[in-house]
Amino acid sequence: MKNTLKLTTALVGSMLTLGVSSAVAQTTVSGNLGLSYFATTNASTATQAQTFRGFGKESQINISNKGKLSNGMDYVAGFSIEMDGADISNTTAVTGADIQAQQSENVYIDLISGNTTITIGADHIQNPDVHLTNIVGFGYIGADGVNGAAATFPTHSSSYSAYGVGVVQNVPGIGAISFNYVPNNAAGQAVNDIGNGMTKAKSGDGESSKEVTFKGDLGVKGLEVLLHKNYADSQLPGYDTGGKTIGARYNFGSFTVAAQDITKEGGLTTVKGRTYGAAYAINKDLSVGYTYATAEKTASVVDEITHMVAVGYNLGPVSLQAQYKDVANHGNALNADGTIAGVYLGTKF
């Protein structure tokens, strides 16, 4: 089971990480690079022109510093600079939103006392943005890009990427529960640190958000549980947003099974996703997996249905993953069927 658990973690994207220390004591520099290839096909002749194939890319540098405060508490502080392929392309200019996305990745100052952590920043507190049932593959379950549209299957309902303040309480042998408050849920928005030239336009037009998240094994070896609830205010009465995530994954021997429900509410529209997954570790390096997902949306007459098969191979510091998605009624549109195949090669350093 030890090898299986290690393999499952590696294939989901947590590969061997080699920390590289800089000349400054207690400061570490690390990073990751992922390259992918995608190809879509559409069953409808009306959307044949929307088929495409090409590469995806993400690169990220992480800087972290840790030490002791004068009052005896521990602290950890850091930030990341992330460059996704979507941040800059050869057909669009760099925008303010691009820069916010690049420079608001994993920004934090943590103040730690025993099992309690007070954290301030963005994109750092416990993250609910995960599909537990994609055990061997990579990324989200939704087949974005088929028929030139985004998938309905929800990712998460969270203000995780916006700047806020939170508390994480670790319960030994059980897991960790966190509460996060975000005064402005416009993701990634932050003005100058001392408010120079501050305006509402620069800080964003989001309302406040509150969320609570639990992650842990409940004392059961091989079990991974995710519980999340989010609520965000709105400037318009009746248009408050929020949602919840309930999921679990369990590894026993060479097998891993998972299930997850995600509900996302926005104004007058509610999206509900339900998914199941199973995986088998053929050996310590090779695994295969299958995922089934359905998504329903307010006022839609058909559900989006996705089948996905995946294979992953662990090369130590490099992981190789391939997956194939077959989707019916993509985007909850009747007979909007298609497929998308993808390959991902990633490493950490």
Q: Where are the domains of the chain?
A: 2-348
Whole-number pLDDT of residue 302: 96
**Beta carbons of 64 and 28 less than 8 angstroms apart:** yes
- What is the pTM assigned to this prediction? 0.85
Residue 14 has pLDDT above 50, yes or no: no
- pLDDT of residue 108 exceeding 90, the answer is yes
Q: What is the pLDDT of residues 270-296, one digit of tens each?
A: 999 999 999 999 999 999 999 999 999
- Would you say domain 2-348 falls under CATH 3.90.79.10? no
- Asked whether 5 and 314 are in contact (CB, 8 A), the reply is no
Please provide the average confidence, as pLDDT, over all residues in the chain.
85
- Enclosing H/E stretch for 136: none
**What is the band of 220 on the pLDDT scale with cuts at 50, 70, 90?**
very high
Q: What is the mean pLDDT of residues 134-159?
A: 91
CA 173 and chain centroid, separation: 25
Say what the pLDDT of residue 277 is. 98
DSSP secondary structure string, 250-306?
EEETTEEEEEEEEEEEETTEEEEEEEEEEEEESSSSEEEEEEEEEEEETT-SS-EEE
- Position 130 pLDDT exceeds 70: yes
pLDDT at 301 over 60: yes
d(CA 321, CA 249): 20
Contacts of 231 (CB under 8 A, 6+ apart): 209, 210, 211, 240, 241, 242
Task: Determine the pLDDT at residue 75.
Answer: 95
3-state secondary structure at position 310: strand
Q: Among 22-36, 192-206, 253-267, which is the least confidently predicted range?
A: 192-206
